A and B are shown apart, each in its own frame.
Chain A
Amino acid sequence: MTVRGTAGIPAPARNSIPRPVHQPAPTPPGAALRSKRTAGWVTALRYAGLWLLVGFFLMPVYVLLVTAFKDPSDVTVTGIFSLPSSLSLDNFTDVWPKLSTSFRNSLSLSIPASLISSLLGCANGFVLAKVRFRYANVVFPLILFGIFVPYQAIVIPLAQTMTDLGLRGGADQTGGLAGLTLIHIIYGLPITTLIFRNYFVGLPDSLMESARLDGAGVMQTFLDVAVPLARPAFAVSIIWQFTASWNDFMFGAMMTTRESWPITVALNNVAGGQSIPFGQAMAGALLASLPTLAIYLLLGRFFLRGVLAGTLRDA
């Protein structure tokens, strides 16, 4: 089925996924010209606005950068915008050895945590959106409520439970990282479920229906139909979960020992204490933000696409 009036919009390869009946109005010929006329000063305004915002967003980053290169005696509150008197990488070279082990620990924690919780969230979202059962709209809010649980309130029972399970501190082979991964998976479930559920709701039921006609069970449909389609949602979910588990401090500090510290705890120890070495703290923070930044840049295209379920095109 072709879509009328969409001359000029390239048609993707034809596949027979049934698409929703959708008949947009034909694009009137004059429309393109009319938009061009207003383009001039509006575009200028747009770019001005964009650059203003870029300034706002980068200004604290500038402070961060500039402080990371400063000598401790240079760091004063009144002089945060001033450039360092000498560009030295000392702060970075001093702080990296303190952070390297925890860097590795955090990677070994955040990657599995984000992947697994996304997978489970995908399953949940699929079931809640596509498998019609009577209490779906009760179960979903119940899971969703888990987003709002304040971490401070559960630190104590969590510590107790984890200790009882032998997963905390030095008791196990991973120094508590396995238990910490589990914690991040569990507390990431509500939000990944939200992401995937909303995503799947946007997909037409006909997809699942045709799978049903083939005699597939829920598990099969999930694996063969839902997962391939949910790639963009995976990107969103993985980004959010990676950030959350990478930047978490409280659970990390509670669960781990010195060798198994995640990077936030190590960074806190650099930056804390009675006398904060600001230069090193900033340098450490910059180094710590690199993996997350890398994830954003890598998955950034998907992020945008991720919030787009580009699945229903039909030539």
Chain B
Amino acid sequence: MSGPLRLPGASGASTGQPGTEGPHGLELIGTTPAHRPRHAQAGVERDWLHQPPQPVSRPGRMRRVPGWLAGLGLMSPSLILVGVFVYGFIGWNVRVSFTSWEGLTPVYDFVGLDNYSALWNDARWRTDARNIVIFTTVFVVGALALGFVMALLLEKGARGEAFYRGVFLFPMAISFIATAIVWRWLLDNGGGADTAGLNKLFGDLGLGFLRSDWHKSESSWAIAAVALPAGWALSGYVMALFLAGMRAIPNTFRESARIDGASEWQVLWYVMRPALRPVTFSAVLILIHISLKTFDLIYALDQGNLKIDTPSLYMWFTTFDGGFYDRGATIATVLLIGVVLIIGPYIRYWLRSERR
């Protein structure tokens, strides 16, 4: 084979840089814009498996490796690494969840489902399970909504857009330790002369009715307060995803909808929403995984306060403070099963809708 490929008719201009940032022809990661026809060229989609006979014969050419095998080969380091370091370790967790290992001496016996039934009856676990559901819901919906609103505000173009983008993305850059300390102060719910943080700000601005106990509140929704720092940190990223998604929608679609008499809200609903579904998918996946993994924030915010306890915290404390490796592994396994049961169908549904 001669040197590197040249794309047919390519003039050497960079193909990765669009000439303008106009909306036409710009595609989004994860987007299958509804307007783009499936088959770009007339004719059947060719794929690697169903190859036509070789049109060109090259002297001394060896028999080519089938496409899928080469592809697998390209992926093989990743597959092996993920296999060992993800699934191998998950397997270890599952194994330990069937043992009675407590303390620094590994014990690999078999106690059947004892740990699982103990967990089911564990009051702290029940609190945690409820908390993680509440937190995930509030956080994902909140970050999606906030990111969407921010993208909406920026998408028509704003003066100094880079500034706004930078500001909204900056929270992600700050280390969680500092973030947690600052938010610990902001979410302080002292009263009277001890008023501090956001409550104090509300009071000073005349918005005293907004005063809240945040994550120390008596309500079982206390953990929703943690969605505030979490959303603060992540909304910028969601905004970036949505912004690009919105910009990929051709203006003319929206214009023609307006011409047809649609109000802005209807444009939003009927034009933008379908086009943004794939972006939403990526965003939701990322947000859910962050929410399940949120540990550092709560750990540094108010650890031990069971109102904001979550499975990952319980897993941590029970394993490393208490030495209950069996219980920790059980929590991990149950968490992962939960993920499979809930995220699995979502992924499958989306993959199917992609093929449509």
A286 CB, nearest partner CB in chain B, Å: 8
Q: Is the CB of B40 within 8 A of A21?
A: yes
Q: Which residue of A lies closest to B317 (CB)?
A: A152
Q: Is the CB of B328 within 8 A of A152?
A: yes
Q: Which of A148, A221, A313 meets B25, CB within 8 Å?
A: A313
Find residues 42-67 in chain A having any chain B CB closer than 8 Å to their own CB.
46-47, 49-50, 53-54, 56-61, 63-64, 67
- Would you give the 0/1 interface string for B160-179, flagging 1 where the beta carbon is closer than 8 Å to chain A? 00101111111111111111
| B22, CB-defined interface residue at 8 Å | yes
- Would you give the 0/1 interface string for A125-146, flagging 1 where the beta carbon is closer than 8 Å to chain B? 0111001111001011111111
Interface residues on chain A, number (Cβ under 8 Å): 157
Known: A141-B347, A282-B178, A285-B178. A131 touches B259 (CB 8 A): no
Q: Cα distance A202–B31 when bound, in Å?
A: 6
Q: Which of A18, A124, A153 meets B75, CB within 8 Å?
A: A124
Q: Cα distance A263–B343 when bound, in Å?
A: 34
Q: Is the CB of B156 within 8 A of A6?
A: no
In the complex, identify which listed stretch (B110-118, B119-127, B206-214, B332-340) lies at the interface while the others stay far away: B332-340
Q: Is the CB of B255 within 8 A of A31?
A: yes
Q: Which of A13, A190, A282, A284 meets B13, CB within 8 Å?
A: A13
Q: B residues within 8 A CB of A220?
A: 1, 4-5
In the complex, identify which listed stretch (A84-92, A170-178, A302-310) lies at the interface while the others stay far away: A302-310
Q: Which of A121, A133, A201 meets B72, CB within 8 Å?
A: A133
| B265, CB-defined interface residue at 8 Å | no
Find residues 316-356 in chain B having any chain A CB closer than 8 Å to their own CB.
316, 319, 325, 328-329, 332, 335-336, 339-340, 343-344, 347-348, 351, 354
Q: Of B41, B156, B286, B332, which is in contact with the most chain A CB atoms at under 10 Å from its CB?
A: B41
Q: Cα distance A53–B165 when bound, in Å?
A: 11
| B293, CB-defined interface residue at 8 Å | yes
Find residues 74-93 in chain B having any chain A CB closer than 8 Å to their own CB.
74-75, 77-79, 81-82, 85-86, 88-90, 92-93
In the complex, identify which listed stretch (B137-145, B195-203, B215-223) lies at the interface while the others stay far away: B195-203
Q: Cα distance A50–B237 when bound, in Å?
A: 16
Q: Cα distance A211–B78 when bound, in Å?
A: 25
Q: Is the CB of A300 within 8 A of B162?
A: yes
Q: Is the CB of B247 within 8 A of A308?
A: yes
Q: A residues within 8 A CB of B236?
A: 57
Q: A residues within 8 A CB of B35?
A: 22, 24
A239 CB, nearest partner CB in chain B, Å: 9
Q: A residues within 8 A CB of B89?
A: 149, 153-154, 157-158
Known: A77-B196, A282-B178. A132 touches B49 (CB 8 A): yes
- Would you give the 0/1 interface string for A217-239, flagging 1 where the beta carbon is closer than 8 Å to chain B? 11111111100111111001000
Q: Cα distance A13–B243 when bound, in Å?
A: 26
Q: Cα distance A247–B340 when bound, in Å?
A: 27
Spell out B's residues near A (CB within 8 Å): 1, 4-5, 7-11, 13-22, 24-33, 35-37, 40-41, 45-49, 51, 54-56, 58, 64-65, 67-68, 70-75, 77-79, 81-82, 85-86, 88-90, 92-93, 149-150, 153-154, 156, 158, 162, 164-179, 181-183, 185-186, 188, 190, 193-197, 200-201, 229, 232, 236-237, 240-241, 243-245, 247-248, 250-253, 255-256, 258-259, 278, 282, 285-286, 288-289, 292-293, 295-296, 312, 315-316, 319, 325, 328-329, 332, 335-336, 339-340, 343-344, 347-348, 351, 354
Can you offer 17 A-B residue contacts whose CB atoms are under 8 A?
A5-B252, A12-B18, A78-B195, A80-B197, A133-B72, A143-B78, A147-B285, A153-B315, A194-B285, A203-B27, A209-B41, A210-B8, A213-B55, A281-B177, A289-B178, A296-B172, A307-B243
